[in-house]
Amino acid sequence: MKKLLIVYSTMTGGTGQMARAAADGAASEKEVLVHRVRASKAGADEVTGSDGFIFAAPEYLAMMSGLMKDFFDRTYYAALDRIRGRPYALLICAGSDGENAARQIARIAAGWRLKPVAAPLIVCTQAQTPERALAPKTIAAAELDRCREIGATLAAGLALGIY
């Protein structure tokens, strides 16, 4: 059985909703075991033991969250040259454009020699004031559907041996 690891970080809930939707989409594929874990809890063994990945991160101050960066710091060298060629997708929950956070994670994934299977999905919440930035987020149904689709597509590709 193939394993899809979804690593996420969330503070106000938006990225958590996106990761959950991706996991729901991936769960439709019975040949793939889906493991969704917070970045603060994910370790190198989970990375090296997985066949594909979805990284879901919030954008804070034009960067990926510190907890997501910590995850990559703790797992990068332990997984280097051990996960080459495996597929990944990226979900970003952003207050503004999310491009830099996506770029940062894509560079790390390129260092691992992972294969992107979709363009980064960036959901912009337009949270540009302190009050809105810190408020709980609700991601629109259409955006969650896009997250489900990414999860389902990556899982189907793993099950079929495409990736």
- Domain range annotation of the chain: 2-160
Residue 7: Cβ-neighbour burial (10 angstroms; 0-12, 13-18, 19+): buried
Q: Which residues pair with 3 in a beta bridge?
A: 33
The domain 2-160 is placed in CATH, from the list 3.10.20.340, 3.30.499.10, 3.40.50.360, 1.10.1270.20, at: 3.40.50.360
Dig out the tokens for 55 from the structure. 């990284």
C-alpha 128, offset from chain centre: 23
Which three-class secondary structure state does DSSP give residue 10? coil
CA distances from 115 to 28, 32, 70, 78, 86 (A): 22, 18, 22, 18, 6
pLDDT at 157: 98
- Give the pair of three-digit tokens for residue 84: 């080459």
Task: Quickly state the pLDDT bin for 130 (edges 50, 70, 90).
Answer: confident
Statement: residue 11 has pLDDT above 90: yes
The SS3 of residue 143 is helix
What share of the chain has pLDDT > 70, as a percent?
A: 100
Q: Chain-wide mean pLDDT for the chain?
A: 96
Average pLDDT over residues 31-57: 98
Q: Which residues contact 132 (CB under 8 A, 6 or more apart)?
A: 95, 125, 126
Q: What beta strand segments (E) does 39-160 contain?
A: 52-60, 63-64, 87-94, 115-116, 121-124
